[in-house]
Amino acid sequence: MRVRLLDLCHARSGDKGDTANIGLIARKPEYFPLIVREITAERVRNHFAGIVRGSVERYELPNLGALNFVLHEALGGGGTLSLRNDAQGKTLAAALLRMELDVDKDLLLK
Amino acid sequence: MKEMIRIASGQGFWGDLQRAPVDQVRNGPIDYLVMDYLAEVTMSILQKQRKKDPALGYARDFIPLMDEILPTVMAKGIRVITNGGGVNPIACSEAVLALARKHGIPGVRVGVVLGDDILPSLDALLAQGHELRHMETGEPLRSIRDRVQSANVYFGAGPIVEALRQGANIVITGRTTDTGLTLAPMMAEFGWQPDDWNRLAAGTIAGHILECGAQASGGNFSADWEHVPDLARVGFPIAEAHPNGEVVITKHLGTGGRVSRQTVTEQLVYEIGDPRQYITPDCVADFSSIHLEEVGPDRVRVFGITGAPSTEFYKVSASFSDGYTAIGTLTYSWPDALAKAQKADEILRTRLKDLGLTYEEIHSEFLGFNSSHGPLSPLPVEANEIVLRIGVRDHRFDAVERFGRELAPLILTGPPSVTGFAGGRPKPAEVVSYWPALLPKTAVQPRVQILES
């Protein structure tokens, strides 16, 4: 069945210059292998087409049930240069949680 | 040696909840109050303030706060550590000592950490061959030397430990890492050596959890924000630190907010890069070694942490003048709010073009539609109101100023049902850009000075 990442994860985002990071955290340990498999750096980069101009790196934190995505050239120059209302990328975490994906119904019933 | 010390976060940034440090001191037992005041752009603002008045250049909010809590912290033996000294930690310390005299409290020892401000020695450092190349672009600092407004080295816990060992009740630093403020009391109390990498990493990670205040205790929390209790009276986080490096994150009893595995995890992943290489002047901490365990209501144990040796470099943060921006808004109401705002944007851009004005950057967003999620935003079905937010950036002041004059005329010369121009013309604001670089640790020396009332 089709779900939003919001149903499986919570997340927080922040900035360093023109680079943003999004920490994506599985709501349940059972969801972690699924997001490791499905939420690749490439998929995140495609999701943010038109917002993120640079590369995307992904780091795994199985001990926290989390993935960390580092998004380069993501904030319209960043810091004081950016003309965006969200110059610090605070809402990019929520933007990632919009992503939709297909999951096995059994996983959600666990 | 104490079996446990309580380190309380009092401020996540300059401008954070004013009553938070007061509550930390009054609502339960703590041993240390740590407060971070410095963001990257703050240093340039403080340099400008000191230029106007040599007695300024520090976080001025710290003084009325100390006025309120100094008698209590001295009576309870709570020690205060802050980087609110900005670019003038001596003046900040003298203001605190004046408060001690005013309250008639004898024996207040203020430890001042100096040496981070390298603006006065910048040319000497460049002449010695330190190019201070930009960490991302690789460009040498000399390309913007004439526009530099501030330059500071990030010190770690070391000089604060020294000040605490010399008996400081209050430690005031300039540019220090946020994490060093929390790590320092653990090193001083438990006698951790500067090469005890695992424990230093544990204290550093505790500092990362505390450094944004209530972001670890239920604030800005995304998993189920609507169920976080009593955010109006949110309790800021407290680290109960043990000599073996284990820490329990908690908050005072009876305060609002929540400390859980989830709230701590959200803060752990905040503003990090490679989690295995969290680099500070004190150590390189490995976030993949962190273990979390809920051990009671609003109590999370943090343990198992490993670290690696620190690098040979300090990070330098310089700031420089980098042009101007102006940003303005207009609000359009139903019917067709979005279409009107989009038409206004188009008209404004045409007028700028007809004036021969182009900008290094021009950017429009429609608040209520797409300012947060850009092209991912679904079209609103029937928005009641949409705010056009348009901004320009350029190195030419006059061009940016001229933009500001073109916005208001849209009220009478553009689409209807428009309002929200009470703020007047958008005025050009100076852009202060940030220049990160590295400097060998051998090139600068922290100094600790003790001042007494």
Task: Check B274 against A12: CB less than 8 A apart.
Answer: no
Tell me how far apart the alpha carbons of residues B177 and B168 are, in angstroms, rounded to a whole number. Answer: 19
Does residue B223 belong to the interface with chain A, where contact is any CB pair within 8 Å? yes
So where are chain B's domains?
5-116+154-311, 322-433
Ranking A62-66, A102-106, B245-249 by mean pLDDT, the lowest is: A102-106
Cβ neighbour number for residue B162 with a 10 Å cutoff: 19
**Over residues B218-228, mean pLDDT:** 97
Chain segment B252-271, per-residue pLDDT in tens: 999 999 999 999 999 999 99
What is the architecture of the domain spanning A2-102?
2-Layer Sandwich (3.30)
Between chain A and chain B, the number of residue pairs with CB atoms below 8 A apart is 129
Is B231 within 8 Å of B257 (Cβ atoms)? yes
**DSSP classification of residue B176:** B
Q: Give Cβ neighbours of residue A106 (< 8 Å, ≥ 6 apart).
A: none
A-chain residues near B325 (CB < 8 A): 80-81, 83
B-chain residues near A70 (CB < 8 A): 273-274
**Over residues B386-408, mean pLDDT:** 97
Where helices occur in chain A by DSSP H, the ranges are 5-8, 32-38, 41-47, 92-97, 105-109
Mutation target among B177, B271, B290 for the A interface, most CBs of A within 10 A = B271
**Angle at the Cα of B148 from the Cα atoms of B143 and B149, rounded to 5 degrees:** 170
A-chain residues near B276 (CB < 8 A): 59
Mutation target among A5, A19, A85 for the B interface, most CBs of B within 10 A = A85
- Dihedral over alpha carbons B301, B33, B13, B184 (to 10 degrees): -70
Pairing assessment for the beta strands B5-11 and B32-35 based on DSSP bridges = parallel
So where are chain A's domains?
2-102
pLDDT at A110: 65
Task: Check B265 against A66: CB less than 8 A apart.
Answer: yes
- What's the CATH number for B322-433? 3.30.70
Is B209 within 8 Å of B260 (Cβ atoms)? no
State ipTM: 0.97
Mutation target among B376, B386, B432 for the A interface, most CBs of A within 10 A = B376
> pLDDT confidence of A105, banded at 50, 70, 90?
confident
On the CB side of B453, CA atoms within 13 Å amount to 23
